[in-house]
Amino acid sequence: MARIAGRLASLAGTKRRSSREAALASPPDWIEPQLCKLVERAPSGDGWVHEVKFDGYRMAARIDHGDVQLLTRSGLDWTEKYPETAEALAKLPVTSAYIDGELCGVGADGVTSFALMQVAGDTGTAALVYFAFDLMALDGAPIARLPLLQRKAKLAGILKKPPAGVAYSEHNAGSGEAMREAACKLGLEGVVSKQIDSQYSPGNRGIWVKSKCLNRAKFVIVGWTDPEGSCSSIGALLLGYYEDGKLKYAGRVGTGFSEKTLRMVHGKLTPLAIDTMPLSTAPPRKSRFGGTLSLSKVHWVKPTLVAEVTYLTWTDDGLLRHTVFVGLREDKPAKDVRRELPERTA
């Protein structure tokens, strides 16, 4: 796998280790990330702390004697995509570490934006910031079993003077719902609330919960319609999700695209065109909240690409309302896309 070489030993002032010591200090090759459960309201109480929910790519940083790997939530190596971020992480004062975080595009107002993330990916990584929020291994010590606040304290220690492009994710105690409301006023996506005494639990959903300002989710692109009026390339994307092994229809999204984005998405979809509808059941030709859909004019595609959209709500017949396109999600395998509904909280 691709790695970025750095001179971490001289930066950290460490002495050369024996090969045995070096092997012991190496972090795990990959750790499945801990996940979040979606809830309507953020929890409160002494057992919780709350962090800003960032709008980017979930990314682990694996640092091993100056070499850095950037690993996606599914374990893909994206180091070559973001070399400047890897080079910045190589400057941290550690021999080895395994960090959990989010790689984001950040606007002039300090708000993270997935749209900026994609623009930065096209033009270079200068506008990107890696927000580190957890630490699972440090200098040969597996610390994932420590309580959250102890892990974060160690992470804060190595990020006292972070290099440009790297930041520590602060947390707040108190009312999670008050923090969520404040986050919404600032134009943020929401908050993530975490139990302070919990160990890092790969794959778990529940120890961490997320509450959002907008309904937002990922869907499989199953086709597109031709443009009308001033639009070009694409009129709308047809969306779906998996349930019990079947690909079900979720609705359409036809807003939120720039001309550049339309051309980019169209270019990715065209090679995926197929003659057979990939959905288990055909979409309705008419719906209460949308125009008529002519199935004979739909361009079906292999269910490979994943789109993220915001939406107002789901209709009683299981379709999305008032959708807006956010971006493509290359870090999410299409086969893992499920319908995500927030759990009601007291």
- State the Cα–Cα distance between residues 77 and 60, nearest whole angstrom: 10
Residue 53 annotated as catalytic: yes
- State the Cα–Cα distance between residues 240 and 335, nearest whole angstrom: 11
In degrees, rounded to 5, the angle at the alpha carbon of residue 321 between the alpha carbons of residues 41 and 226 is 140
Annotated active-site residue in 53, 91, 248, 332 = 53
**Active-site positions?**
53
